[in-house]
A and B are shown apart, each in its own frame.
Chain A
Amino acid sequence: QSVLTQPPSVSAAPGQKVTISCSGSSSIIRHNYVSWYQQLPGTAPKLLIYDNDKRPSAIPDRFSGSKSDTSATLGITGLQTGDEADYYCGTWHSSLSTVVFGGGTKLTVL
């Protein structure tokens, strides 16, 4: 059971928009930055979003992040078949002094 909860799967058609949620207790999410990672099939994860809503320079603006007190959200617009991957949220768990990840969400682009 992950400290951060993500839906196991989401799906949408090419060109559409999808959101992936990452929920946890307010003590974890509210006071800590959330980052998001994309893992394409058979590859290592890659940083997509950091500090809740910032994108590394190589990441297209189709990807966005937001956060409220108890949840974070990854948004992907203009879906492409190449976006099919597993997506993970992560944050710092202050009480445990560890990084925690969500269980991951598998995105299918129909």
Chain B
Amino acid sequence: QVQLVESGGGLVRPGESLRLSCAASGFTFSDYYMSWIRQAPGKGLEWVSYISSTGSSIYYAESVKGRFTISRDNGENSLYLQMNSLRAEDTAVYYCAREWGGVGVPRIDPWGQGTLVTVSS
């Protein structure tokens, strides 16, 4: 079955970096857009970034533009999120998700179980 498993979360200090990974299985990873979406504790969903199936098109939320970088390795069926200059407001559960609608047509399914990133001094 389709499975997405995130890893790499943890506790970091403000200004530090962290790299999240998402291992995909059960589908042809290279056929799909992929997303990162986050959820601060007790808050709603916030979309973070999209990457196209080939990696040629990338989109970011304004709140992370210039600090976060999304990438993928289709040979390894893996999605990544490099997070630099982390701030307290980046504290959240980060979900990896498959986007099967493409840009402009959000069909986000399934979602991974999430990995918690805590930014605190």
Q: Which residues of A contact B (CB under 8 A)?
A: 2, 32-33, 35, 37, 39, 44-47, 50-51, 56, 86, 88, 90-92, 94, 96-104
Contacts and interface: CB of A to CB of B under 8 A. Distances in A.
Interface in B2-49: 35, 37, 44-47
Contacts of B101: 33, 50-51
B44 A88 contact: yes
Q: Which 7 A-B pairs have the closest CB atoms?
A: A47-B109, A99-B47, A44-B111, A104-B44, A50-B107, A101-B45, A92-B104
Contacts of B60: 98
Nearest to A90: B106
A96 B62 CA distance: 8
Contacts of B88: none
B62 A98 contact: yes
Nearest to B112: A44
A99 B44 contact: no
Given A97-B59, A101-B44, A32 B111 contact: no
27 contacts: A2-B44, A32-B104, A33-B101, A37-B108, A39-B45, A44-B110, A44-B112, A44-B113, A45-B95, A45-B108, A45-B111, A46-B109, A51-B101, A51-B107, A88-B45, A90-B47, A90-B108, A92-B103, A92-B105, A98-B59, A98-B61, A99-B35, A99-B108, A101-B44, A101-B47, A102-B44, A104-B45
A81 B60 CA distance: 37
Nearest to A32: B104
Interface string B66-84: 0000000000000000000
B104 A46 contact: no
